[in-house]
Amino acid sequence: MTRPAYAAQIEDLEDAIVRCPEYRRALVLQQVTSLFLDDQRETVSKLDHLDDVLVCLMRPATTDDLAKVSDALVRSGLKLPKAIHELVRHRDTSVALPILKHSRWVFDDDLAEIAETRELEHLLAIGSRAVLSEYLTTTLIMRGYTAVHALIARNSGARFSEAGFSVLLKIAERDDKLAGSLGARSDIPPGLLRKFLAIVADKPRAAFLRAAPASVKTLATRDTPKIVDSDRNYSAAEKEIAELRRAGKLNDSAFNRFAVTQQIDKLTVALAQASEGSIKSMERLLSNSSDVDQLVIACKASRLRWATTVSILNNREGCLPIEGDELKALGGLFESLSLSEAQRTIRFGPATKQ
């Protein structure tokens, strides 16, 4: 490969700079920065040359001089990857932060390494970038800084993986400020959204809903569950279900059979015993079309499979089958729940702020 015509000039420049006194090096750096970055009309074709010149001049420069170059480079918007690589990895925040916050030309590997290894001020700078990938948001989340969590939750240009959202929402169960920041987002996966609304209460829930769009508020404030006041006698069903449990036969197959054959008394008792909830609460869930999220949680707490849960959902008394996006969202809720979360919610109700 032919060597660039200016390569020898760069080597001569390096030799000259090494012999220059510090004040001369600073002056040359300032003049080159001003020449190329303040007037860009004839620099586009010379960017590679400029990149090499800047890197050469920056190596012996002081921190104050590098900070000025950093600011000038950000203002220019020019793509100078070598110079940016040197500046963004600088330990001094006055040099690195302008590039971290504003430059579109930072290498992804540089951002990832800084997100993994540097401290709060650097992480906040990354978190304020106009665009953040799922990998970067996940890395920032796992560093564990509350201020960073709040910042990226408010950043509309940040993209999150489902796992990233799951971690933030878990933290938000006890953090109403973070809950409020997350509430304004429209990209939370439906299953995780329904899970959060189903298991959280008090200040975090209120803060989340204050910031939420109308569609989420509607989801959270659906018809108040009706009170079931039946005189159904469950004594025979309780005896049969207890025998099935002792024999180890209270399994998915039994639950599915009760649902399909509309043996609602046995299904009610089976859910109550398997989830350690009350018969009255299971009776309400199996007859109330507006509280399907809690029924999904009860099925999860009972260690049932999703296919069995769907069968139960679609065989409730007086309720239409669930299909399409609604069923998909409920499937997301089911998969996002851990067994312990589901059992705690059924036994003790939604989580409250400590």
**CB-based contacts of 103-108 (< 8 A; 24+ apart in sequence):** 103/73, 103/74, 104/77, 104/79, 105/79, 105/80, 105/81, 107/81, 108/133
Query: What are 154-180's pLDDT values in tens digits?
Result: 999 999 999 999 999 999 999 999 999
- Looking at residue 42, its pLDDT comes to 52
Say how far apart CA 189 and CA 328 lie, in whole Å. Answer: 11
Q: How confident is the model at residue 223 (pLDDT cuts 50, 70, 90)?
A: very low
Residue among 269, 330, 280 at smallest CA distance from 302: 269
- Looking at residue 93, its pLDDT comes to 94
- Looking at residue 44, its pLDDT comes to 56
Asked if the model's pLDDT at residue 149 lies above 50, the reply is yes
Query: What are 175-197's pLDDT values in tens digits?
Result: 999 999 999 999 999 889 999 98
Q: How confident is the model at residue 49 (pLDDT cuts 50, 70, 90)?
A: confident
- Looking at residue 224, its pLDDT comes to 46
- Looking at residue 27, its pLDDT comes to 73
Reduced to 3 states, what is the DSSP secondary structure of residue 282?
A: helix
- Looking at residue 217, its pLDDT comes to 81
Asked if the model's pLDDT at residue 118 lies above 50, the reply is yes
Asked if the model's pLDDT at residue 337 lies above 60, the reply is yes
Say how far apart CA 23 and CA 18 lie, in whole Å. Answer: 12
Say how far apart CA 115 and CA 151 lie, in whole Å. Answer: 14
Residue among 212, 117, 166 at smallest CA distance from 336: 166
Reduced to 3 states, what is the DSSP secondary structure of residue 323?
A: coil
Asked if the model's pLDDT at residue 281 lies above 60, the reply is yes
- Looking at residue 96, its pLDDT comes to 95
- Looking at residue 23, its pLDDT comes to 72
Provide the H-helix boundaries in 34-119. Answer: 47-58, 63-76, 81-88, 93-102, 108-117
Asked if the model's pLDDT at residue 274 lies above 50, the reply is yes
Site of tokens 């829930």: 205
Please compute Rg for the chain using Cα positions: 30
The pTM of the whole model exceeds 0.85: no
The CA distances from residue 110 to 81, 284, 308, in Å, are: 11, 55, 48
Residue among 54, 43, 66 at smallest CA distance from 10: 54
Q: What would the DSSP string read from start to end of 108-155?
A: HHHHHHHHHHS-HHHHHHHHTSS-B-HHHHHHHHHHT-HHHHHHHHH-
Site of tokens 């959202």: 165
For all residues of the chain together, what is the average pLDDT? 86
Dihedral sign for Cα atoms in the order 264, 266, 269, 273 = negative
Say how far apart CA 184 and CA 276 lie, in whole Å. Answer: 35
| Stretch (H or E) spanning 330 | helix 324-336
Between 217 and 85, where is the model more confident?
A: 85
- Looking at residue 354, its pLDDT comes to 39
Asked if the model's pLDDT at residue 353 lies above 50, the reply is no
Q: What angle do CA 221, 302, 188 make, to 5 degrees?
A: 40
The residues facing 131 across adjacent strands are none
User: What is the CB neighbour count within 10 angstroms for residue 263?
Assistant: 17
Burial of 306 (0-12, 13-18, 19+ CB in 10 A): middle
- Looking at residue 77, its pLDDT comes to 87
Q: Specify whether the CB–CB gap between 337 and 275 falls below 8 A.
A: no
